[in-house]
A and B are shown apart, each in its own frame.
Chain A
Amino acid sequence: MYRYNDFDHDFVRTRVDQFRSQVERRLDGSLTEDEFKPLRLMNGLYLQLHAYMLRIAVPYGTLNGRQMRQFAYIADTWDKGYGHFTTRQNIQFNWPKLKDVPEILDALADVEMHAIQTSGNCIRNVTADHFAGAAADEVEDPRPTAELLRQWSTDHPEFQFLPRKFKIAVSGASEDRAVTRAHDIGLVLKRDDQGNPGYEVIVGGGLGRTPMVGKTIREFLPKADLLPYLEAILQVYNLNGRRDNKYKARIKITVHENGIDKIRAQVEEVFARNRDVFTGPPADLLADIEAAFEPPEFDNTRSATLEEALNSDAILRSFVDTNVAEHKNPAYGIVTVSLKPVGGTPGDATSDQMRVLADLAERYSHDELRVSHEQNIILPHVRRADIPAVHAALREAGLATANIGLVSDIIACPGMDYCALATARSIPVAQEISQRFDELKLEQDIGPLKIKISGCINACGHHHVGHIGILGLDRAGVENYQITLGGDGTETTAIGERVGPGFSAEAIVPAIETVVNTYLAERESPEETFLQAYRRLGAAPFKAALYPDQGVKSHAA
């Protein structure tokens, strides 16, 4: 796995020391909150509803056993014994004390981690396909690119004060698991006709108040041109991006207001100038990084252990059906560990569970773990023959829920249980939905269905790209939930459509049940998924079922 170089070590330690003295000066009154706030945010420390919250970057979602074990240690030593994995492939601790944070950052630096660039109008933690380096459908591992971008953007003077925050996602497979079309820049590794490596570059996607699907600005960009080209995009954005209005400052608005063709022309012009005078990291840096991401040495011995176990163990069989994905090496599987037990908080893991995951990674997954934006943990390289043992250990730890991609595998942001920006809660809605569908015993029958919940318009819960999206709002002092249908976060990205007026906290779960029942009644066969059925039927039957009193009007609405 990739290791920080010496520069990174010094950089991170220096930042921790600086922050320690900043905290001291805040506590002795020599810094006001106005002066201190931007400093703490630069180090990932937020003040939330009930407490401080520390957001720690997990670069492109990749970590090893030692790092996961350190999270467990932090949870036990300075927090309440658990951590929350987020849709940005990060981890958050919900209860740190201000005076302890420098120590926590030191503990993170011990395992080469930090909380830098998890906040502010900079280039944020670069995200990547959580099956990177393992997926059977992968053209190329996206993480070297993500790491290159991390090194290039960390503390880059020109990009610390962008008009708004800036998010980049990288994917290298035919299936888009990194929601690349909903990021400021999305990169998809591909080959041209001659087999040369490069990228499709997508720009201007984003969720939030004004959701937009990213547009392709370059069908094929040769690999070596990546950084000068991205700098050109950022320079054009830095010039044209609107700083007058926070809600119009993201690049998606710049692209929307100017049109992709105009932006493309400007970018190409700047790029042509930049290319020859580019002073960023040399092109061979990427080759060095790629060498550090060499796949582990796989053990190719085939064995029938798994197949034999499957014959006699129905629980294991259902786990393998839902939670194990195809690995590029046929002797291996990719195991997704669900952090969505029935009635649980999506994305939460206790310190004990983190230690189990760390042990399993070290013993069975070449010491690799991934955090997915869907708030689950991946063991990317598990020998198929080891899956029964891994499953048994996960069961023991309460981590063997077989629900990946199903109705209870819900994304939910922290919402008003933690987040200071929230307009309503999201966690209890997720808990109730998973409990309700567990009672109904319909999960397997419903099949693939992604429910995503956000507690405010900022859309951290990706509700716009949920097959069923739920947005919590404050309507005249009461929690109210809007439903969107037909969203999709994959290579066929679509923004969900609002079905109609929102529902109260009591009515939202029954409303979701109504939507699902409508699908079950209307689908052509069990093979037709919710999303396929929605695309065929449109919103009308769902509206009619949700708002029966509105008769024909609901069809026209």
Chain B
Amino acid sequence: MARAFKPAVITANDLLEGDVVYLTADCGWTGDIEEAFVAAEEEVARRMLATAESQHSRVVGAYLAEVSVGSDGRPSPVHFREAFRTRGPSNYFHGKQAEV
């Protein structure tokens, strides 16, 4: 039985900086998951992932990360690993959480 597709964003690490980035609707990259393009269908997700992977001199290791979509339409991560990736480490105020 095929599993039902869940909404997902395309995420990767920036080649130069190493930090977490998300694919936007115009096939650019953002550091903020709320600005990420949300693929609601599997076919779209596959196509966008292929686009992301083709940008190999910009990002590393693109993959799909499941999100839940709030009433305002903004995505938030489902798995705790992805939640950490939106923030940074918990022992220091470093990484994304320190950027404003």
Interface residues in chain A, defined as those with a beta carbon under 8 Å from any beta carbon in chain B: 26-29, 32-33, 47-52, 80, 94-99, 345, 416-418, 422, 425, 427-428, 431, 474, 477-479
Contacts and interface: CB of A to CB of B under 8 A. Distances in A.
13 contacts: A26-B57, A29-B56, A32-B56, A47-B60, A49-B84, A51-B95, A80-B92, A94-B94, A97-B17, A422-B81, A425-B84, A425-B90, A427-B90
B14 to A, nearest CB: 9
Interface in B36-82: 56-57, 60-61, 78-81
Interface in B1-56: 13, 15-20, 56
Contacts of A29: 56-57
Contacts of B56: 29, 32-33
Contacts of A50: 18-20, 85, 88-89, 94-96
A144 B21 CA distance: 46
A47 B18 contact: yes
Q: Which of B56, B81, B89, B94 has the most CB of A within 10 A?
A: B89
A428 B78 CA distance: 21
A428 B95 contact: no
The 8 closest A-B pairs by CB, nearest first: A417-B89, A29-B57, A51-B18, A52-B18, A50-B95, A345-B91, A427-B91, A33-B60
A428 B79 contact: no
B91 A27 contact: no
A97 B17 CA distance: 5
B13 A47 contact: yes
Interface residues of B, number: 25
Given A345-B91, A425-B90, A27 B61 contact: no
Contacts of A477: 78-80
Contacts of A479: 80
A16 B78 CA distance: 41
A50 B21 CA distance: 10
A529 to B, nearest CB: 30
B30 to A, nearest CB: 16
Nearest to A46: B18
Nearest to B97: A50
Contacts of B91: 345, 417, 427-428, 431
Nearest to A97: B17
Main DSSP-derived SS at the B contact region = loop
A50 B61 CA distance: 13
A98 B15 contact: yes
Contacts of A26: 15, 57
B18 A98 contact: yes
Given A33-B60, A416-B80, A427-B91, 10 more contacts: A33-B15, A49-B84, A50-B95, A94-B89, A94-B94, A98-B17, A345-B92, A417-B91, A418-B89, A428-B91
B69 to A, nearest CB: 18
Contacts of B80: 416, 474, 477-479
Nearest to A45: B18
Contacts of B84: 49, 416-417, 425
Contacts of A427: 89-91
A98 B16 contact: yes
A416 B83 CA distance: 11
Contact of A27 (B15, B60, B88, B95): B15
Nearest to A348: B91
A29 B78 CA distance: 33
Nearest to A345: B91
A284 B48 CA distance: 62
B68 to A, nearest CB: 12
A47 B61 contact: yes
Q: Which of B61, B79, B95 has the most CB of A within 10 A?
A: B95
Contacts of B60: 33, 47
A97 B15 CA distance: 9
Contact of B16 (A99, A345, A425, A474): A99
A97 B57 contact: no
B85 A49 contact: yes
A48 B90 CA distance: 15
Contact of B17 (A49, A51, A416, A417): A51
Contact of B18 (A97, A428, A474): A97
A94 B91 CA distance: 12
B25 to A, nearest CB: 24
Nearest to B57: A29
A98 B60 CA distance: 12
Contacts of A96: 18
Contacts of A80: 92, 94
A164 B16 CA distance: 29
A425 B84 CA distance: 10
B19 A27 contact: no
A51 B94 CA distance: 11
B94 A416 contact: no
A418 B56 CA distance: 23
A474 B81 CA distance: 9
Q: Which of B18, B78, B92 has the most CB of A within 10 A?
A: B18
Contacts of B92: 80, 345
Q: Which of A29, A49, A94, A477 has the most CB of B within 10 A?
A: A49
A420 to B, nearest CB: 9
A428 B81 CA distance: 15
